[in-house]
Each structure stands twice: as structure tokens, then as C-alpha cells.
Structure 1
Amino acid sequence: MKKKIYSLLFLCSFAVLEGCTDLKEEILDETLSAAKLTDKQAADGIIAPVYARLPDIFLHTNYFAIQEISTDEAILPYRGGTDWGDNGIYIAMHQHTYQSTDPNIRNTWNFILQGMSRAITAMNTLPTLNDANAKVYLAEARGMRAYYSMLTLDLFGLVFVKEDIGETSKILRGEEAFQYVKNEFLAVEPNLDATVGPGRLSKGAVWGLLARLYLNAAVYRDVYGTPTFKADEMDKVTEYCDKIINSGTYKLSPDYFSIFGSDNHTNPELIFAVDQRAELNGHNRMAYFSLSGDQFPLPAYPNANGTDGPAITPDFYRTWVDQYAPKDPSAVDPRFYKQNLSAYSNPADSCVAEANFNINRGILRGQQYGLIRKNGVFLKCPDGKFKVGKLFNDTRNRPTVPVNFTEKVDFTTAGSDYSSGYRVEKYEFSKKSVSGRNFGEADIVIVRLADVYLMRAEAKLRKSNDAAGALADVNIVRAARTTPPPALTSMSLDILFRERGFEFYWEMLRRTDMIRFGKYEGTWTEKTNTDKLKRIFPIPQTAIDGASNLPGYLKQNQGY
């Protein structure tokens, strides 16, 4: 029998919807494939592209921007009147005035659909290969198609269904879309491997995604309405969370920030993640996105600095302060802040060996310290160690203005300056990176064990107001961390929402959480829009235009 092995050279973003003339496939006949590729090599080669779009989806200006900057956690002003203006797209994202021409929305859409298209191609090719891994890979490809469908459902309120790359997709919304994604996950779960690690779709990953899907089912069913959480669906959340917890495969990490460290691929808390290890040419840019342009976290890379990007809003910061007053949250909760440079508490500690230099993590406030850079090189102490001191805005041509992060950040001139807003350094800079800031090797978390406990807690509250059971789950997560915060003594949906903010800030869950908890139409720093139609994003105009030869096929979401 003649085998056809498809090598994807280019995938247009619209390939998932209809046959696309830009989709070019190199078809290798059995002679050529026999000479160049074994079935094992072909199977490995066809599953890899299914995952390869995840780093692009999770790029800081794509999925992060629309999941975080649209919420009360993150804000990105027009820095200094010169940086991050981008035709106002980040201001519009935060104020919920985003439109169908937004490039970050378009890019996220394109990459998700390309990933889906690659999954369909893999599903059509893998059954032709005589390799022991083909069955598992086929389940992974189909499961990843379901995951990409879950993303389009969450972000855009629709799902595309097709079995062959040349077909025109059927579009599902609401209950039909939820049922489709659920059934696809259920279909692949028996054939998935439980031990492949967080970078591939495993049984545990599908259990976590099913729990998340059921938890949000009420929103997906009626995205503009008031969610009605069904008892049987909350039972399913609990069921799949129990499977993960009782499997014994995953463990809560005592060191909170190691979950986001550059070597976190082996962290036992990770269930599903974007694999960004160095050998896979990862390009996680989360580490430098929020930092000052005068913060240089790597002594080996004098050009690897921050970008003065997003800050946390004062509103989100105040949730920490209000919870722990009169104590400072950094003294109470290990998730808030981790000091790595002693200069912050003792400025006399101004000389640090390269191996010991690590910038602080978490929420960064006030005067910042770090490597002193002059004329493109870092200063050194007489003993050869690196000089550490107060930082100033040298790269902004303001050498007398300190890098002093302030609570105030907004869209005024003063609130948009380079040092406005407290910053977040959750993901770690990689010391192995070939370019410093642009190629971070920390896996980007999609599902981790703490979320499983908190999803189970939420299901208990929503089903039967089991506050005691929910409280126990939340306190398990709190108690697992080194020097844990004090145990909570009561539980409600509002407390749980606050706790999810503390645990998962900057992890691209906030928009989905806010919608489910009824908070997305609220008011926070520089945002007053209460339009419920903004719960889902506009379909990119390029996609609408691309489907123009099929009248009525792809309709724009309401309000755009």
C-alpha cells in the first residue's frame, strides 16, 4: 500500500475553515519515505508540529495580552509617550474597547487555528504509519484539536468541526460546542499515556482540562447570560480533580517560584505546560516583559534587559494589602515576593558573584537594585564580583531618575512613565539562553495541581455551598508552600476568587475566572466599560474577509 506522509511547509491561518490555496504539502511516496524516514521518524515528525504553535499562542503579546491585560490584574500604558503605544491596542484591551482589527487578537486566532489544522493533518496521517507510538500520538493529536477548540470556545464563543483538512468546517456555539469538546476529550483519554511529562497531552492533562471545561460550561452554554452551574457538572469537576489528586503523579511544590523556574519541566506540580526547554528552542519571553529597561537579570548578557511592559493595577495590589493588613503581604505570603538580592534589605551588600546573582521574584515594588551597566558593560568590584546598586533610567536617557516602581499606574502622563506601576517577575530568566531575554526556557503553565485543588473547591461551593470542603482544599494549597501564609478560617465565592488571584496571577487564567465569577463587567483602574458583549473577543476581520466567498458562514460576534 502506498503511504502518504505530509510535511507541512506552510499553513495559512484560515486552513481550518476551508481549503486554502496557501496550504502546501510535500507528498512523499513510499520509495522516498522508505529511503529517508522510518515509520517511527515519520510519526515523531507528524506529532511535533501539533504542539509547535503553543509557544506562539502563549507569547507575551498574544494570549497573555488578551487574558491578562483585559482584566483587573494587568495594565500596559503608553510608556513615556514613546513605548508600547501600538496604536492604542493595549489601552483598548484594558478598557474593553478592542475591535476586530486588533493584531494581538488576530495573531492568537491565527496560531490557534494553525495548531488545529496541524492536529487534523496528523489525525489523517498517523493511521497510515506502522509504529508503536502511532496510537498514542493519534490520541494526542485529537486531544490537542479539542484543546485548541476549547481555546476558540473560551475566547471567541465558537468551535470549528472538521475531520479532513480539505473540508469546510461546521461551526458550533453554546451547548453544542461544549458537548463537542467534552466528547473529544473523553474519546482520547483511554489511549493517552499517563507518564509523558507536562509538555505533552497526558491522561492527567485531559482530566485537568475536562475539569476546567465542566467548571466553565455554564458560561460557554450562555456566554452573555448569568451562569447557572449544574450540580451534575460540578460533580464532574470534582470527579476529574479527584482522579488527578488520587493518581499520586503530581505534588504541590514547596517553593512557589520554582513552579516558574527555568528548569521547571520536572517540577511535580506541572500537569500540562508549553514545553520551552532549551533543546526545543523555547522562546518564553514572560521573564522580561514587565521589568524595567534598566534591569539586567543575567551577568552574561549585558543586552538582556526588561521592556517596561505591563504592571499590576493598584486595584489588584490592594487585594493583597487588604487581606494581610496591618502586615505587608511580602512578610506573610510566599507567593507575593521572593527576595534573592540581599542589597534590598542591606544596601551594603553591593558585590555579588555571577553564580549567586538572581533578581527578585514576584511583585516588585519601590527602588530597584541590580547590575550597574555603563557603556554597555557591567561594573565589577575590586574582587571581580559584579557591582550591585540602585538602578536609574540610564537606557531611557534619564540617568538621574531612579528606577522606583510606584503603586500608581494609569493612562495619565504621570501614570504612564517608565517606572509607574508595580511589576511582576514570576517566570525566571534563563541562564542558558542563547540571547538572554528572548529565549526563556521556563515551561509556561497551562494546568497545575494547585488549580486542580481550587477548581474542586469551587465546584463544592457552587454545587452545595460546601464551604468547609472548599476551605480544606484551599488550605491544602496554602499549607504546601515553604513558610506558608496563615490558613484561612472561612470560605465563600468572593474569598475563593481573591485566592485564585493570589495563586494564579500572571498565569493567563484571570479573564476566564472573572467572567465565571461575574466580575468582568466591573470597574477597576482605567476601566469602566460594563458591556457584557465584551466577554468574548471579536472574530478577526481578516477571518471574516477570508470567508467572504461563503455568505453567512462566519458571522461576527455581537457588539463588533
Structure 2
Amino acid sequence: MTTTIGRAFLGGTLLLAVVIGFSGCDQVGTEPKGLASGENIFQDDGSYKSYLGKLYAGLNVTGQSGPAGNADIEGIDEGFSQYVRLWWQMQELPTDEAVITFQDAGGAPQTLQKTNWGPTNGFLSAMYARISFQVMQVNEFLRESTSGKLDSRGVSQEVQDKMPRWRAEARFLRALSYWHGVDLFGGIPVVTQEQPRGGAPPSANTRQEVFAFVESELLAIADSEGEENLPPTGAAPYGRADRAAAHMVLANLYLNAPVYLDNPQQVIGEDPMNRAVEYAGRVIDSGAFSLETNYQDLFLADNHTASGVVFAVPNDGESTQHYGGTQFLTHAAVGGDMEPSNYGIDFGYNGLRTTPEGVNLYEEETSDDRRIFFTSGQSLEVDDLLDFQDGYAVPKYQNVTSGGQAGDNPTFPDTDYPMFRLAEAYLIYAEATVRGASNGDIGQAVSLVNDLRQRAGLGRDVASSDLQDLDQSGTPFLLQERGRELFWEARRRMDLIRFGRFTGSEYTWSWKGDDQAGASIPDYRALYPLPQSELQVNPNLEQNTGY
């Protein structure tokens, strides 16, 4: 498979031999060791597009050469440091949807799924470093691509004409990472291109201030009259951001605003649910996306053709080789009695499974086409976290095309990672409407949910009464439906938090609270701690409550 970004962008990233030291220089705003000056990097017109390619590649590859050996981040196994892999694990492992056998990085995966992590957890530090790395590289691109710098270097008019859009894309990628930061860590330093390289440690910012920065950046590049704008929805090459990608981040930002902010309506100026409906609605109404007939096609090796993917992290088995992302998600979900070649891969890692509670999301809907479990030789119960055959396997991401052909490389899949999908916009619209959005239509909300269920083979069986009660005893329908539709797509932690089911004892699952039967956890665990390494090098930071 060849993708636009895979060939046109990633091939030019090797000129950026930059490495960020894992301890001491990985905080937001501190420059990576060995970062070359702009004058050395931007020597010709092509270097600007190559640098933009590196910014996108920051979501995908792990270093300057694949699959490993010249890492962006030091101090952790290079495969563990891949952006999507870290984001996925931090959103899925502490929930009812995933367990893992791996004990790497000092047992970091185990402490995540047992919900007993601390500030020295290696995966938390690596995720913070990934966010920092993205922010720093975007800032450098923005510093070096001003009109004055382009003129002084004699950059062609063709590149200068494209630069406002490229700068908007860079700002989108920075905002995306800051959204991940505000969701995982809360208040982290907001650093922009206006601040000098290599200065004093950055000042701390509150969660509200980070939220406001992300919101303002996304509105500026997707909704303003300014010069730097993302292309209209549907007008960007595959794998690059258009306005729909920004609208999906905004819709998520507003849907979770009551979690992120103490007084969301005061901060935003109106009910955030109105904004969530507005931006989810823009994606839905754009006409650029449609639901696939077959749900599984969204997670196969030719999913770059899937009409319901709004923004993806592209993978190519030959040109984007690494041990994270869908490489991890395809291989780690295979083991036991499973035959790897059935999934287009050469071996399984015997790693990822789900819990009984994850299976029970579909308890009364065994005909649900989204129920992608391998059960032969697997037990339902997870008595031993380190035994792959304890828990059903979930081969959702596969290196096989919709036509049954294996991907080009059995070790490194062609399967892209769908970061945002149309179906999620449907569910955001429905939930925000039920949460009180004055611009939402309950009839449309019901219709959208039924569209998803009909595609899953369940028929149009949902009524407005099913959606309405978000605080019903047990698990609210919309939380369950999000779990079914977005299973293993790095949304479960934030969903459980938003519905008040992550901490406390309202809802427990296998190994929550380091208890096989499940136990209560304190409210402060709805936020991850700032890494201890960051506190040691930046005296301006203050640890999150409880840690």
C-alpha cells in the first residue's frame, strides 16, 4: 500500500537528526539535545515540506531511521516510545477494555492496568516526552517559516504561497498534542514559537489555560478569517489535517469540558455541549464522509479507502517501520491458539486481551458485528494477567485487506490508525444533545445512533428513552454504545471519567484497584501525575493532587 503521506512526506525526514534526552530535557519548552539551528536545516525550498513531514511523522515513527536504532526519545525502548502506542495504552490499559502480559519498563504496563501508577512510571514519562517533542518541533517550524525568514533566504514564491496552510497544519498538530496533554496530565506548560529556544524552564499553566490555548488555536486555523487556515473539509491529501480534523478535536474538547474545567460555561462563554453539537455536526453535515457497510473494513490494511475515517495516522509496511501503533495493535493481540497468518502477520506477541467486562459490553448483542473476539482456547476470566489465554483476544486491527490479501510486509502492517472517525462524531452529537445542548435535535441523535447499530447488524432498535438517562444505575446506554462502537480506539478512559465511572466504586472491573475482582480507586487518579523527571528539572511545576 502506498499512502500520500507515507511517500511524499516521510521520505524526507532523515535530515532532522534530532534527539530528545529522556531525563532532564523532555519537558514542554526545553529544547532537545542536538537540535540543529534553522539556518542549517532550512537551506533549500524542499526542506520546509520535509520538516512538515517530520511533524506528521512524530505521530507515527519513533526515530530517524526505521524500524529502530536512532530514536527520538532516549531512556526507553524505542518501540514503547511510539506516540500512538503510548496514547492508546494510557487510554485503554487502566479500563475494562484491555489487559496486557508485558512487564517492560519496570512493569509500567502492569501498573497502568492495575490503576496504581506513580510519577516514575516510564510510560507516563515517555508520553509526556512525546507531547513535548511534538510541541518543540512545531515551534521550531513556526519560528523558521515566517515571511521575514522566507524572504531573507530567497524562498520561492511557490513555497511562500503554500506556507500559510503548512503553518496551519503545524499548529493543528501542536493543538492535538496539547489536547492529549490536557486530558492526561491537566496543567502543563504552554510554550509557543514566541518563546526563545533554550531559555529558562517554562512557567506552569493551569488546565484551564491549556484548554483555552487549544481552543483558540483550533478556532484560529479552522474558523477564522486569518491567513493561516486549514484546507476545507475533504480537500487535504490523505493523512494530512483539514478542517474536519480540527472540528473533531474541538468536539472532543467541548464534550469533555466539564471534566477539564471547573466552570466550563463561564470559560467558553456558552454551554460547551452546544459547541460539541456544532462541531460534530459540521463533520456529519460536510458530506465528505460516510459509514462503511462493513465495520471491520475500518481496521484493515486497505483502510485508507474507508469513507468514515476523518483523520488517520498512515502506516506503510515498507516506509514507516516501527514497533508501535498498528504494528503493536496487530501483533500484541495475537497469541495462544491463533494463527498469525490469518491476520497478515508473521508472529504474535501474546500480549493484549480484554476483560469479562469488556466482553459484556456486548452481553445481549452477540450478533453485533463490532464484537471482534477470538475465544478458542481463551478463558473469559482474567485470573492471571501474565497468561495470554486468560481473557478473550481482540484481533480488531489486522494486516489483511478487505479482499483478504495480506499486507506487503508481515512484520510491519499497512493498516492505518484511525484517530478520528465519522461514527465518533455521531456519538458526540447524540451525547451532547442528551446533556442539554440547545442546538441538538433528539430525533436526529436517535437516528444517528440507530445508523451505527443498523450497520452493526442490530437494526434500528434504540428509542429516545434509551439515550436520555445518563446517570441510571449500572452503566448508561450511551457509555455502553460508545464502548461497543469505539472499542480499543483510545477513548475508554476519558469516557469512563466523563460518565463518573472511572474512579470510586460505582463501576469496577477486573484488576481495577490492583484487585482481580475489581476495587474502588480514589478520584485523583482521573489525572496522571506529572513525571518525576520533569519536576526535578523544572522548579515551576507542581505535582497533581494525590501524587
TM-score when scaled to structure 2? Answer: 0.78
Question: Which residue of 354, 368, 371 corresponds with 1:333?
Answer: 368
Cα deviation 1:308-337 (Å, max 9, x = unaligned): 11211111212311x33xxxx1xx21111x
> Which whole-Å CA distance do the structure 1 matches of 2:34 and 2:529 have between them?
25
Aligned to 1:65: 89
Question: 1:295 deviation in Å?
Answer: 3.2
**Residue 76 (str. 1) matches residue 100 (str. 2):** yes
Change (3 A) 1:103 1:160: same
Measured after TM superposition, the shift of residue 231 of structure 1 is 6.1
Match of 1:524 among 494, 509, 514: 509
Answer yes or no: is the 8 Å Cα contact 1:297–1:429 preserved in 2.
Answer: no
Match of 2:170 in 1: 141
Mapped to 2, the partners of 1:23 and 1:467 lie a distance apart of: 55
Amino acid at match of 1:424: V
1:69 partner amino acid: L
* Alignment CA distance shift 1:462-1:305 (3 Å): same
Larger CA Rg, structure 1 vs 2 = 1
Task: Identify the residue that residue 57 of structure 2 maps to in structure 1.
Answer: 52
For 1:63-142, list aligned pairs within 5 A: 63-77=87-101, 84=103, 87-127=106-146, 128-129=149-150, 130=155, 131=159, 132-142=161-171
Q: Does 1:496 align with 2:478?
A: yes
**Residues 1:508 and 1:181: Cα distance change in structure 2 (over 3 Å):** same
Tell me the secondary structure at the aligned position of residue 298 of structure 1.
helix
Tell me the residue number matched to 2:493: 511
Residues 1:186 and 2:211 are matched in the alignment: no
| Contact 1:278–1:441 under 8 Å retained in 2 | yes
The equivalent of 1:341 in structure 2 is: none
Q: Which amino acid aligns with 1:240?
A: Y
Question: Offset of 1:279 from its aligned partner?
Answer: 5.5
Residues 204-243 of structure 1: pairs in structure 2 closer than 5 A: 204-222=244-262, 232-243=271-282
Partner secondary structure for residue 214 of structure 2: helix
Given the superposition, is the C-alpha separation of residues 245 and 418 from structure 1 closer, same or farther in structure 2, using an over 3 Å criterion? closer
Q: C-alpha displacement at 1:441, in angstroms?
A: 1.8
Residue 488 of structure 1 aligns to which amino acid in structure 2? V
Moved more, 53-62 or 187-196: 53-62
- The structure where strand makes up a greater share of residues is 1
> Who is 2:415 aligned against?
442
| Identity within the alignment, % | 28
Q: Which residue of 2 aligns with 1:470?
A: 445
**8 Å CA contact retained: 1:275, 1:282:** no
- Match of 2:189, SS state, is strand
Q: Which sits farther off after the overlay, 486-495 or 196-205?
A: 486-495
For the Cα contact (< 8 Å) 1:155–1:537, is it kept in 2? yes
1:169 corresponds to: 202
Cα distance 1:318–1:16, how it changes in 2: closer, same or farther (>3 A)? closer
Query: Quick check: 1:11–1:114 contact (8 Å CA) kept in 2?
Result: no
Offset of 1:235 from its aligned partner?
A: 0.9
Q: Which moved more, 1:538-547 or 1:246-255?
A: 538-547
Distance of aligned partners of 1:230 and 1:291 in 2 relative to their CA distance in 1, 3 Å threshold: farther
**Cα distance 1:280–1:44, how it changes in 2: closer, same or farther (>3 A)?**
farther
Gaps of 5+ in 2: 1-13, 63-80, 224-228, 401-405, 471-475, 513-518
Structure 2 SS opposite 1:447: strand
AA partner of residue 499 (structure 1): E
Deviations along 1:203-237, one digit per CA (max 9) or x if unpaired, are 110011111111111111149x9xx9996211111
Over the aligned positions, Cα root-mean-square deviation in angstroms equals: 3.0
Measure, in 1, the Cα distance between the counterparts of 2:32 and 2:89: 31
CA displacement at 1:59 relative to structure 2: 5.5
Deviations 1:400-433 (A, max 9, x none): xxxx01101134xxx6433111010111125334
Contact 1:237-1:456 at 8 Å conserved across structures: yes
